[in-house]
Amino acid sequence: MVFSAPSFDDHEKVVFGYDEATGLKAIIAIHRKGPKGRALGGCRMVDYKSEEEALNDVLRLSRGMTFKSAVSGLALGGAKSVIMGDPAKKTPELLRAMGKFVDSLGGAYYTSVDVGISADDVDVMSSVTKYAVSGGDPSPMTALGVYQGIKAATKAKLGSNDLNGIRVAIQGIGKVGYGLAEYLAQEGAEIFVADVNAAALDKAAQELGAHVVDLDAIWDQNVDIIAPCALGASVNDDTIAQMRASIIAGGANNQLAHDGLAEVLKDKGVLYAPDYVINAGGVIQVDSHVDMFSEDEVRSRTMGIYDTLLRIFERAERDNITTLKAAEDEAIARMNAAMAEAAE
């Protein structure tokens, strides 16, 4: 089932974990280990409809983490873990069982926060493994990186990184989406928001002057930029057909329902900021607790997302390729250079 899965990409290790006492059903996927022999990626808890859906998610996410770490210049490979189940029903016992599962890989995999798993949850895991690192809430740094990525995208597509008067639709106004909205509001952007959380929408409207729109209507707003900041696969054939924006730049992982959509966006003249590049601020922060670098360096590397994306956009334009292919080329080049340096 693993080798024939649609998202299998020569992953180095895919491990299934089960604990009868707690009901834990989990998968850890290591796509590539980094030059120090370890990989990093959060633990996600979702009430998946099937094992196949969970496997596909962890395979896609782990592959994305490889490129995210590489393009960010981190000495880590890419991995991810998923727990099958309702996050509202998680228990300390289940989290400790997950921690023991992570520990069983002996440091090849470091885990952290993700959808359905909070910093407090990771702290529970860390009681049984040193390979669970919360690193605090990564959302503010993720939001900063997305903000810098939006400035780079407007520079490349619209000729200026001045966001005053730019119209941005944010799909998902959670911690990352709201943090992004705050940055945009400070620059005078006009913001449109959609979410299932009515309280978050009211807050955005009252504090930031955001326009609240229905979830189904966010994609066809007359805006310059769509910023997907919820779950993945929101950019699909249907939403692309609706959208009027010329830029997609948001904080969600796996925004494209499938990679072929990068070519569709290119043909439509829509500039896509590859998600694993623009949302790397969070993993940079978490890695600072693994490889021990300062908060100043975390911020500096996150601000560097601006230049990284400009370089990717320029490569895509020069070589007449998608921005997704340009990002992968950049990531692979950095990864090969790091591995070669480690081998010397």
Q: Which residues are catalytic?
A: 80
Any residues with CB less than 8 A from the CB of 148 and at least 6 apart, and which? 302, 303, 305, 306, 309
Task: Count how many Cα atoms sit within 13 Å of the Cα of residue 38 in the half-sphere of its side chain.
Answer: 19
- Using the structure block, give the residue that is written with the tokens 């955005």: 204
Q: How many CB atoms lie within 10 A of CB 294?
A: 9
In sequence order, which ranges of the chain are alpha helices (DSSP H)?
Answer: 51-71, 92-103, 119-125, 139-158, 175-186, 198-208, 237-242, 261-268, 275-278, 281-288, 295-303, 305-319, 323-343
Q: Which two tokens stand for residue 278?
A: 């623009």
Task: Check if the beta carbon of residue 178 is closer than 8 Å to that of residue 338.
Answer: no
Give SS3 for 27.
strand
Q: What are phi and psi of 21, to 5 degrees?
A: -65, -40
Nearest to 191 by CA among 216, 161, 215, 164: 164
